[in-house]
Structure 1
Amino acid sequence: MSPRTVDAVVIGAGPNGLVAANALADAGWEVLLLEAADDVGGAVRSAQVTAPGFTTDLFSAFYPLAAASPLMRDLDLGAHGLTWVRAPDVLAHALDDGRAALLTPDPARTAAGLDAFAAGDGDAWLAMVADWDRIRDPLLDALFSPFPPVAAATRLLRRTGVAGGLELARLAVLPVRRLAEEQFRGEGAALLLTGNAMHSDLPPDAAGSGLFGWLLAMLAQDVGFPVPRGGAGRLADALTHRFIAAGGAVRTGARVESVVVSGGRAVGVRIAGGDVVVARHAVLADVAAPALYRDLVGLDRLPARLRRDLARFQWDHATLKVNWALDRPVPWTAREVRGAGTVHLGTDVDGFVDTAADLAVGRVPRRPFLLLGQMTTTDPTRSPAGTESVWAYTHLPHREAWSAADLEAQVERMEAAVERVAPGFRDAAIARHVQSPGDFEAANANLVGGAINGGSAALHQQLFFRPTPRLGRSGTPLEGPYLASASAHPGGGVHGAAGWNAARAALGGAGRFGGARRRLTRTAWGRLLGER
């Protein structure tokens, strides 16, 4: 039997792979999407792992970037079964002394809470929100466009002017600790900004952490931290349904062993078991950069400089996650925390620095910083009425292996941190499920050692340094294979930009870009190509 031939093969049905596949199908290509796991979604999946009737998001859970992404918005996923829902409040940081900083959907209410920490901080917050509103659209276009984002950056500069552009450039390299000190007097705003920055692997005194903290805090104030009704997997299901409706084909349980290269060009893939699929135009890989270059393409086909650069590729921190089923809501000491979908806890402003210092030198933090999700508070379908499906994760140093004793000790510290701000939490837990760094990688090969962002977010591995210096785009030294994962610019987060950028490059490389451009006019695809 002759091998199947398609216009493009997409490896990996994570969110970036699914967006890439949709973009190519929209352009009229015949696309086959291959996923090694039995289910689509990558790190966007949910299951009942704690107790019957309790739905847990296994990896990612809250999606401000997806809600704000013009790419995701113009896919019209609501027509394919996706419904976004939000908690009454967006984000809280619970302190051990019983106080809490709260970010609500109403900026004025957020500001009032920050004034309780220091008079005047509310006005400073509202000024920050006003600045965000002014530059939001061109900034998001710039963030999600291929690097360099010339058209989007030009539009952004028109909004800011030269002086404002310089201020924004300074923000891009400002540490979040310094940003908070410059803009606010009290601890409340600093907690919100720094906690958001700590979603990445950037320490609070590192260049670039200010931009991460500010961006997520402003998105929280703007679009909130929404979740798909029924579980994270519903987002992947909607992307898959749309792709199939556009004529695409999906094959799960199909692990790609190698990219077939001939004459310096990717001509197809070989699947475990021996099947070969021929690609007329391109192979797009939603896999970690080392996996594409080292395992699928082969280091012997790469220039010596790239091989050297790959050897120093840096992963982000490992992740340890605990999922609980509670027979009642979390018994928070601070009333403000009860309606928040996302809760930060375990440390104060100075403690962020201590946690980051431990991770930097390879120590396990003794007072871990936790990100906690109250999923039933956000989406009542996640567990029976009166109960709570809840999880928390923390970062660990990136290691090859962890002992059971070390992991159990850190889980104990995590539960103790929750108990300090919610006495009686342990008594409310009727079931517990732990995901170690090794469990993350076993479930999804892209999450190497429990790293969830496709590589460090530090400045030396962002923009044109991502995944290695001099690239910054989806193309590779060979013709035809394209990197379509979070290892490519703009990096981690569920926004689909890395997948779209790879699809854009593939269409251009095949000489089909003009026709695709005409088909996608007046959509986010067109806007990101400069069609305004």
Structure 2
Amino acid sequence: MADAVVIGSGPNGLVAANLLADAGWDVEVLEAQPDPGGAVRSDRGVHPDYVSDLCSAFYPLGVASPVMRALRLQEHGLRWRHAPAVLAHPLPDGRSAVLERDPQATAAGLDALGAGDGAAWLRLYEMWEKVGEELLAALFGPFPPVRAALPLAAAARRAGGLRVLRTLLAPVRTLGEQEFAGPGGPLLLAGSALHTDAFPETTGGAAYGWLLAMLGQRYGWPVPEGGAGELTAALVRRLESRGGRLRCDTPVTSVVVRNGRALGVRTASGEAVRARRAVLADVSAPALYGGLVGWSDLPAPLREDMRRFHWDNATFKVDWALSGPIPWASDGTARAGTVHLSPGMDALTGYSAQLASGHVPSEPFALLGQMTTADPARSPAGTESVWAYTHVPHEVGGDAGPDGITGAWDERERVAMADRLESVVERLAPGFRDRVTARRIIAPPMFSEHDANLPNGALNGGTGLAHQQFVLRPVPGLGRAETPVAGLFLASAAAHPGGGVHGACGANAARAALAHDRPAGRLLLTPGLEGLRRLLT
């Protein structure tokens, strides 16, 4: 028995558990996998001398998030490491757009690609300096952002008022065309937006691209020294130092509900684990609603809402152990921790259109991580630990490329897609293939073997587009961690504010559990929110 049971030990679950332990609650975390961390794990599965991150790798949101910063994980062994440059987008002509840690250096590089583009970049960074921290406080706090609303409104007014809103609501292609003369700035923004499922023509895509690029400009895109798993290890050490408990190899099969309230959980072994105060679920929305909680314990409209739940794109990933650094043809690319690979904006649009029509892209947009460049502990001196991933449809309707990939993802299709991804790198770095010592292919169905929250490698807990954000995440409601079952809180990326390793979803769930446990919460907050939810839905 515990005060709170947390289902899942991904970063959100561990953040939630830490905050509840800080409040003096007795907390138990139950994890289905043999190791904690969910998508934040690392191993030596490609080559025994190389550390590879299984899923997530760079953490601009983690280092910038007020939630994560407040945990002071450096006191529990976490060390951030930075590559010499944050991000590069090599161009087919041998030039490269590079996001440096110094805004002036970034601007100088962009000026070389387009006259006046450095000044345009600095204007975007000035907007960040005026509104960025207030935006983070609003974004990573509970929804609606009551406390953060006034500071954010004041900051937005200083930054330009409605003109800021117009800038951020634009498609990222539109922002690039309006602000820049050359290709560098637009590609840095568009590639960053494509870390979500926002295409170059998506309304609001500029907000994603601008946010991620400016986080890199302000905080960098760091990595944990020694591998992604070290971030998880620090969260676990902090939790255990406060008396929290973690049990791995303990899959939860159901939430026990009686008279509309969550009383605990039942595990695959048949064990009942009682939760005196709350159950927090760091699981996907489809796994919770109609899965861990049966439809008989949920309001009828929720079933139809979940039928319309929209996942983000599937993922195909390759990890490599290289005998030496990638031999990039373009200057500056070798210094960047993260590299975006696409010939240009039109290619990004073509890639996006093929995805939208259910086709495996012929020219994949690839995100590539040079992990030893960022953290020398990842592989022997003079070598490189590298990964790259691209997106593919969940349901493959056809292959826009020459290989006849059907979505069966058998050995032939896995190898064909890995070779296609390697070809993207080889064109920009001739001789890349000659340095491959070992590789590991992770096709879409394999992601859920590492983390059940990532079906087919949907990395963000559901689409990041506007129709499933804020009060619409994961379904139309209040955009909060509360669920229709009293004492049960959604603590995963399926809840506001969504994907990314920032801990805000878990923190919001923990704060909600604490608020509802107080006498005023039981008397006023719980029935009040339920009434408002019914009114809105």
Q: Does the alignment reach a TM-score above 0.5? A: yes
2:77 equivalent to 1:81: yes
**CA contact 2:20–2:510 (8 Å) conserved in 1:** yes
Count of matched residue positions in the alignment of Structure 1 and Structure 2: 510
- What SS does the aligned partner of 1:294 have? coil
1:359-378 alignment, distance < 5 Å: 359-378=355-374
Whole-angstrom CA distance in 2 between matches of 1:72 and 1:398? 32
User: More displaced, 63-72 or 91-100?
Assistant: 91-100
Q: Which residue of 1 aligns with 2:215?
A: 219
What SS does the aligned partner of 1:8 have? strand
Instruction: Tell me how far apart the structure 1 counterparts of residues 519 and 23 of structure 2 sit (CA, whole Å).
Output: 8
The whole-number CA distance in structure 1 between the counterparts of 2:90 and 2:436 is 19
Task: Tell me if structure 2 keeps the 8 A contact 1:177–1:194.
Answer: yes
- 1:523 aligns with none
| Alpha-carbon distance between aligned partners in 1 of 2:520 and 2:503, rounded to the nearest angstrom | 19
Distance 1:37 1:417 in 2: 34
Q: Which amino acid aligns with 1:445?
A: A
Higher deviation after alignment, 169-178 or 128-137:
169-178
Shift of 1:512: 6.9
The amino acid across from 1:336 in the alignment is: G
Identify the match of residue 487 of structure 1 among 479, 494, 501. 494
Select which of 108, 118, 133 maps to 1:122: 118
Gaps of 5+ in 2: 397-406, 522-537
Per-residue CA deviations over 1:284-326 (Å, capped at 9, x if unaligned) read 0000001011110112221121111000101100011000001
Q: Deviations over 1:239-295 (max 9, x none)?
A: 000011011111111000000001100000001111111111110000000101111
Tell me, yes or no, if structure 1 residue 254 matches structure 2 residue 253: no
- Other-structure match for 2:403: none
- The alignment status of 1:500 with 2:507, answered yes or no, reads yes
The C-alpha deviation readout for 1:421-447, integer Å capped at 9, x for no partner, is 000000000101111111101111100
Q: Is 1:384 matched up with 2:380?
A: yes
Q: Contact 1:139–1:153 (CA<8 Å) still a contact in 2?
A: no
Could you tell me how far apart the structure 1 residues matched to 2:97 and 2:448 are?
34
Q: Distance in 1 between matches of 2:373 and 2:519?
A: 47
Residue 65 of structure 1 aligns with which residue?
A: 61
Query: Which residue in the other structure is 1:444 paired with?
Result: 451
Tell me how far 1:163 sits from its aligned partner. 8.0
Q: Distance in 2 between matches of 1:43 and 1:452?
A: 8
Q: What whole-Å deviation, never above 9, does each CA across 1:437-465 have from its counterpart, x for those lacking one?
A: 11101111100121111001111011111
Pick which of 493-502 and 447-456 moved more.
Answer: 447-456
Percent identity reads 56
Matches within 5 A, 1:165-180: 165-180=161-176
Matched ranges for 1:322-333 at <5 A: 322-333=318-329
Number of the residue aligned with 1:50: 46
Kept after mapping to 2: 8 A contact 1:268/1:278: yes
Corresponding position of 1:410 = 417
CA distance in 2, matches of 1:459, 1:414: 30
Moved more, 204-213 or 228-237: 204-213
Q: Would the aligned equivalents of 1:507 and 1:513 in 2 still touch at CA under 8 Å?
A: no
Distance in 2 (CA, whole Å) between partners of 1:118 and 1:162 is: 28
Shift of 1:376: 0.3
The Cα of 1:402 is off from its aligned counterpart by 2.8
Measured against aligned partners, the alpha-carbon deviations of 1:91-119 in whole angstroms (never above 9, x if no partner) come to 00012221211010111110011011111
RMSD: 1.3
| Mapped partners of 1:398, 1:291: distance in 2 | 17
Contact 2:284 2:493 in 1 (8 A): yes
List structure 1 runs of 4+ shifted beyond 3 angstroms: none
Written as runs of structure 1 = structure 2, the 5 A alignment for 1:129-144 is 129-144=125-140
The residue type equivalent to 1:464 in the other structure is: V
Quote how far apart the aligned CAs of 1:165 are. 3.3
Aligned match of 1:276:
272
Q: 1:236 aligns with which of 232, 236, 249?
A: 232
Aligned residue among 23, 30, 33 for 1:34? 30
Change (3 A) 1:54 1:162: closer
> Aligned pair 1:263/2:259, yes or no?
yes
Deviates more, 1:150-159 or 1:354-363: 150-159
CA-to-aligned-CA distance 1:79-98 (integer Å, 9 cap, x gap): 10100000000000012221
- Does the 8 Å CA contact 2:94/2:331 hold for their aligned counterparts? no
- Secondary structure in structure 1 of the residue aligned to 2:486: coil
Equivalent residue for 1:517? none
Aligned partner of 1:520 in structure 2 is none
Corresponding residue for 2:303? 307
Tell whether the 8 Å contact from 2:414 to 2:441 is kept in structure 1 after alignment.
no
Q: Give how far 1:121 is off.
A: 0.7
The secondary structure found in structure 2 opposite 1:295 is coil
1:49-85 deviations in Å (ceiling 9; x for gaps): 1112100011000000000001111101011010000
Could you list the runs of 5+ residues in structure 1 that have no partner in the other structure?
515-532
Q: Would the aligned equivalents of 1:174 and 1:208 in 2 still touch at CA under 8 Å?
A: yes
Distance in 2 of aligned mates of 1:254 and 1:95? 48
Q: In 2, Cα distance between the equivalents of 1:25 and 1:242?
A: 10
Instruction: Give secondary structure in 1 for the equivalent of 2:128.
Output: helix
Task: After TM superposition, give the deviation of residue 135 of structure 1 in Å.
Answer: 1.3
* CA apart distance, 1:513: 8.6
Check 1:80–1:162 CA distance in 2 against 1; reply closer, same or farther (3 A cut): closer
Q: Are 1:475 and 2:471 matched, yes or no?
A: no
